[in-house]
């Protein structure tokens, strides 16, 4: 890359922080205007979210689709290794990229995820997340959901759309790498973005990459990272689930719309396929009326119970 090309590229880059930069450039792919997002859980989970105004972000390695993180790593490995092989051994960019990939493979970052879906009555989600015949889908008003801060330390977390398009996944990884190489090219002492920050940025976006075969899920995710190298450590908690002890982090919410009395923007509850739907609905209706949600409609899944 010539100096003029570097300077031309730099005009379009705000060299402050890599994650916000990439998020801004690809914003239209990570969000869109929809009416609602749905969170699938069971009765116990739904009660905890509504009563405590808290979501549990589960460790990605222990989720139902934990293998999907390896999909993102494979996409990244293919791109980085190809770039490395194209560079001469003595080229500083080669050593820089090799360090990025080494850190990415060995980094101590734990990744936690809260999942949402654009559909509130989807069979694959009932099977994967409700974990019992008493599955619950909590519908949240989309625009209001972004008035809610998921607050940890001094950071806010919002749902981002999962990327299923393989070519777009590659574009995002290539952009991260290109920006980092530009910073290396322009540096006189050290690059604007260290290999550790580049690896952390790639690692941040990888949980938003899933194989195209899962696209019917229309999933959104809140991503939270925890690393021993971070100045702030989110409190790690554990709970038993089926045959594992699941690590998780609590995301407490705070509604910035004061007239809502800090209530979550719940716009409906959908009860999953079950032989006791109507009885369950009566109990949920009574519960909601007594915890400040008297007008939230309750619907039954249209999927036949088996």
Report residue 103's pLDDT band, with 50, 70 and 90 as the boundaries.
Answer: confident
Question: Does 139 reside within a domain?
Answer: yes
**Span 223-230, average pLDDT:** 75
Residues 6+ apart with CB under 8 A from 208: 30, 72, 160, 161, 162, 163, 221, 223
Question: Does 96 reside within a domain?
Answer: yes
Q: What mean pLDDT, rounded, does the chain reach?
A: 83
- Output phi, psi for 240, to 5 deg: -80, 135
Report residue 257's pLDDT band, with 50, 70 and 90 as the boundaries.
Answer: low
- Residue 15's DSSP bridge partners are none
Report residue 2's pLDDT band, with 50, 70 and 90 as the boundaries.
Answer: very low
Asked if residue 137 has pLDDT above 80, the reply is yes
Report residue 251's pLDDT band, with 50, 70 and 90 as the boundaries.
Answer: confident
How many CA atoms within 13 Å lie on the side-chain side of 261? 4
Pairing outcome for strands 266-271 and 298-300: parallel
Domain hosting residue 97, numbered range = 3-300
- Which pLDDT value is given to residue 177? 93
DSSP assigned state of 209: B
Question: Does 82 reside within a domain?
Answer: yes
Question: Does 141 reside within a domain?
Answer: yes
Return the higher-pLDDT residue of 252 and 216.
216
Out of 82-96, 192-206, 255-269, 290-304, least confident range:
255-269
Question: Does 47 reside within a domain?
Answer: yes
- Which pLDDT value is given to residue 156? 57
**Span 250-268, average pLDDT:** 74
Question: Does 252 reside within a domain?
Answer: yes
Asked if residue 56 has pLDDT above 70, the reply is yes
Q: How many domains does the structure of the chain reveal?
A: 1
Return the higher-pLDDT residue of 242 and 19.
19
pLDDT tens-digit map of 19-44:
888 988 999 999 888 999 999 999 99
Q: Cα 301 to the chain's mean position, in Å?
A: 26
pLDDT tens-digit map of 140-160:
998 887 666 555 444 556 788
Question: In whole angstroms, what is the distance from residue 118 CA to residue 141 CA?
Answer: 11
Question: Does 306 reside within a domain?
Answer: no
299 vs 43, 139, 261, 271, CA distance in Å? 14, 11, 25, 6
Report residue 254's pLDDT band, with 50, 70 and 90 as the boundaries.
Answer: low
How many CA atoms within 13 Å lie on the side-chain side of 251? 25
Asked if residue 223 has pLDDT above 90, the reply is no
pLDDT tens-digit map of 168-218:
999 999 999 999 998 888 876 677 888 888 988 898 898 899 999 899 999
């Amino acid at each position: 890359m010539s100096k003029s090309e570097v300077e031309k590229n730099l005009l379009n880059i705000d060299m402050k922080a890599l994650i916000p930069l990439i998020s801004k450039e690809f914003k239209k792919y990570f969000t869109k205007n929809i009416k609602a997002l749905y969170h699938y859980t069971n009765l116990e989970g739904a009660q905890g979210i509504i009563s405590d105004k808290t979501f549990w972000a589960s460790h990605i390695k222990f989720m139902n689709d934990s293998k999907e993180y390896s999909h993102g790593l494979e996409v990244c490995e293919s791109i980085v290794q190809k770039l490395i092989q194209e560079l001469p051994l003595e080229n500083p960019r080669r050593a820089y990229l090799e360090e990025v990939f080494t850190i990415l493979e060995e980094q101590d970052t734990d990744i936690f995820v809260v999942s949402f879906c654009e559909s509130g009555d989807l069979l694959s989600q009932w099977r994967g997340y409700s974990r019992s015949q008493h599955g619950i889908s909590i519908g949240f008003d989309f625009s209001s959901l972004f008035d809610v801060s998921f607050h940890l330390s001094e950071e806010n977390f919002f749902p981002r759309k999962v990327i299923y398009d393989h070519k777009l996944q590659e574009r995002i990884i290539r952009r991260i790498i290109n920006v980092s190489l530009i910073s290396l090219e322009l540096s006189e002492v050290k690059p604007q973005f260290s290999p550790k920050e580049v690896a952390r940025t790639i690692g941040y976006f990888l949980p938003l990459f899933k194989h195209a075969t899962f696209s019917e899920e229309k999933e959104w995710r809140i991503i939270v990272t925890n690393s021993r190298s971070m100045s702030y450590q989110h409190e790690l908690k554990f709970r038993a689930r089926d045959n594992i002890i699941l690590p998780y982090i609590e995301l407490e919410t705070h509604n910035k719309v004061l007239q809502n009395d800090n209530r979550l923007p719940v716009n409906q509850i959908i009860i999953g396929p079950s032989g006791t739907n109507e009885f369950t609905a009566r109990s949920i209706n009574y519960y909601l009326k007594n915890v400040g949600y008297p007008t939230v409609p309750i619907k039954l899944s249209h999927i036949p119970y088996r």
